[in-house]
Amino acid sequence: MSTASEKAGVTPMMAQYLVLREAAGDCLLFYRMGDFFELFFEDAQIASQVLDIALTTRGEHGGQPIPMCGVPVHAAEGYLARLIKAGCRVAIAEQTETPAQAKERARKEGRASKALVARDIVRFVTAGTLTEESLLEPRRANVLAAACEVRGVLGIAACDISTGRMELEECPPDRLGAALARLGASELVVPEGWELAPDGAISRGGHEFSSDGGDERLKFVHGVATLDGFGTFTRAMLAAAGGLIAYLDHVGRGKLPLLLPPVARAGDAALAMDEATRASLEILESSQGGRKGSLVEAIDRCVTGAGARQLAEDLSAPLTDRLAIAERLALVEWLHDDPLLREDMRAALRALPDVGRALGRVVAGRGSPRDLGQLRDGLSGARRIGERLAQMDGLPVLLDRLMPDLGGHAALVDHFAQALVESPPTERGQGGYIASGYDAGLDELRVTSGNARRAIAALEAKYREQTGVTALKIKHNNVLGYFIEVPQRHADKLLEPDSGFSHRQTMAGAMRFNALALHEEASRITEAGAHALAAEEAHFEELVAEAVAARHAIARTAAALARLDVAAGQAERAAEGGWTRPEVVEGLSLEIEGGRHPVVEAALKVQGERFVANDCRLASHDRLWLIGGPNMGGKSTFLRQNALIVLLAQAGGFVPAKSARIGMVDRLFSRVGASDNLARGRSTFMVEMVETAAILSQATDRSFVILDEVGRGTSTYDGLALAWAVAEAVHETNRCRCLFATHYHEMARLGETCEALSLHHVRAREWKGELVLLHELAEGPADRSYGLAVARLAGVPPKVISRAKSVLEKLEKGRAETGGLAAGLGDLPLFAAAQEAQEEQCDVLRDKLRDMDIDALSPRDALEILYDLKREAGTES
């Protein structure tokens, strides 16, 4: 890529471009040229591939054609969305003066050459700094985060600039991954050269991550002399906040977005879950990626985007404050028990716009008249909801606390209602958004401008009568403005010296003229229109200033609406699924009756099948369940459903169970499923061991752990030994509540030495030679793993199943006789062709006899079958 030092010999426009390109850094540069954003050089090559648009050339540089592509300004947002989704970042270079201003500037500078319009980068568009409605997912927060280290402690600052919410926290270095996984940030900003920086993080100068600088920046943003009124923030938190705000200042080119007062998040305020646990439980995304098949997709019944975003946040950070959980549950229960009120609330909420994101755009300077209309309509709707709820008796504590934020804003709403038309446009350049009657002067200007067609029509009629040319017409275009046009054969009448018309342009078959009266009328119309637009723009700025001044109160109203939507949606989901209110208590119990997996149950319901519910009862004397039984029998589903029930309960929602009594969980761990991380050089077994190590080092006696098939990624002896040792460690050292599923039924002997361990299995039954999976949990050890039966269910060829039976018999015989697992395999040939063929033939004969309905056979049919069997046996008569 060329730099500013290579500008010699290039055109003024390209010289200007190269300066801006250097300032754009690693971003693609959208260079405004008239009605298009143009890209050049490597930027054009990248954009043309991502956007699938034509790549052309414009001029030369260094003797080579300059690649170029462009997108229309009016459609730029759609192209930006595709570029951002592809991982690109974009710098927007806009014209900062009009051609007339550029011409006047050149005249003052004494330059006679054609003036180049000045341009500058006005904004950087990045994944974490989006505010445009078309670029954001309505039901997903868009988080930007910054992280740094101060004296061995990590500080994290996170904000969603589309709504202004900002949080600060600190954590030890080994918890960085878990904290970032909870946030799910679109972008992460870190100090340059930081050793702990995750892949893909954006590096910025280390001086921006200063605790003193962060303190000063926060005070400046919020216009306060001290941050004491917002809470207590550590030096690590302030340093991260400093880096975050500095980055926002950079991408906004000095224009900061909406930032609400920061909230300090305590490290133990939320149920801790590491990245592996979140992925395993598929909370916000399924294992295939995307929302479909995830927990949030199965339970989200919110009717607003803000509510859906709040629900996702609740599920990402379940509470550990029992009182706060009880307050959320009480509100859900209140709406659950009153279906008519719940439906009224949901209908009212469904009609409301996204107040929080409209406010974010207005404060960021990217607002439109439509955004102001959304603030008006949203705040007005919130007031109506508040008035409806105020008529109710016995409001839940949480709702009572939200009530002040559901009212108020009366003066602002009334002012906006008077000032704005009912449906304001998204663009303000053409005017038409200030309501009639709001400004008498503006109304008069509109009358003058609006009478243009009538005035022009009157002039046209006058000129036709004056000239006798019935084909005379008055037209308009952006170059000439208003003009008179007549056919060539009638032009002589207007060309006469005393006609009152002046020639302007000769066309093929027509001539164009001007007239003094037309010029005066056109000037009056143009001037009135320009003054009307200027008046509307002034009113727009006044309304924006009023909204910005009330931003904190408006943001609280938006948050209250989102919380009400979450509660109503949770109540709706509970009502449709027969879910119940959990009881969250102190202590270490975990008693779930008739628990179900919300995602699996929903999928089975679509297929017309019923989910088999199961109980789970853990206590201090019975805190570790060892669960055996066949694969596909439901062990993993049972493990996950109990973890999800804990998560849902502590997030403040009802749960899919007949009843649930849950002792508060501080950390939730899930080691379920096989995965690898080849990019980091980790095999499936290595990933399994890393995740297991994290559990053994971090789980406390208040944690809840689910472990599935530990040790299966290595040899049988190693795997069994590891699974045995891990189970003992969980029992003796961590002493946490744990569900441990295993295919090693030999581990049942642990029940003899571990007093808080109990044995369970998923039930299965063989009937007529086929395995029937019952998906029911029962007490006691599993007698076997049913591996071959499951393989037959999966469609493994009968020949392979038969061979596996032979090997299994030898293995079991050798172990029984010598105690060695592989004993007896020495005389087992790799290809025992005759024996295999005989066993396969016997299996075929058995299958035919088993499927035969003897009572339905005629004597002739029975005789034919006997002949067939004799032929297949190789003794044909």
Give the residue numbers of the binding site for ATP: 629-636
What distance in Å separates the CA atoms of residue 256 and residue 189, rounded to the nearest whole number?
Answer: 16
Looking at residue 117, the DSSP 8-state letter turns out to be P
Contact (CB, 8 A) for 180 and 145: yes
SS3 of 486-550: the string is: EEHHHHHHHHCCCCCEEEEEEECCEEEEEEHHHHHHHHHHHHHHHHHHHHHHHHHHHHHHHHHHC
Point out which residues pair with 851 in neighbouring strands.
none
What distance in Å separates the CA atoms of residue 85 and residue 136, rounded to the nearest whole number?
Answer: 11
β-strands 28-33, 90-95: how paired?
parallel
Which amino acid is residue 461, in one-letter code?
A
User: CB atoms < 10 A from the CB of 289, how many?
Assistant: 9
* Nearest to 600, CA basis, from 611, 592, 608: 611
Contacts of 802 (CB under 8 A, 6+ apart): 836, 839, 840, 843
Point out which residues pair with 482 in neighbouring strands.
476
SS3 of 239-269: the string is: HHHHHHHHHHHHHCCCCCCCCCCCEECCCCC
What distance in Å separates the CA atoms of residue 624 and residue 678, rounded to the nearest whole number?
Answer: 33
Residues making up the annotated binding site are 629-636
Contact (CB, 8 A) for 362 and 547: yes
> What region does 779 belong to: left with phi over 0, alpha with psi -120 to 50, or beta?
beta
What distance in Å separates the CA atoms of residue 341 and residue 333, rounded to the nearest whole number?
Answer: 12
User: CB atoms < 10 A from the CB of 627, how many?
Assistant: 25
Contact (CB, 8 A) for 351 and 381: yes
Which residue blocks in 337-409 are alpha helix, DSSP H? 339-350, 355-363, 369-390, 397-406
Tokens of 174: 């080994």
3-state secondary structure of 347: helix
What distance in Å separates the CA atoms of residue 63 and residue 441, rounded to the nearest whole number?
Answer: 59
SS3 of 377-392: the string is: HHHHHHHHHHHHHHCC
User: CB atoms < 10 A from the CB of 809, how many?
Assistant: 12
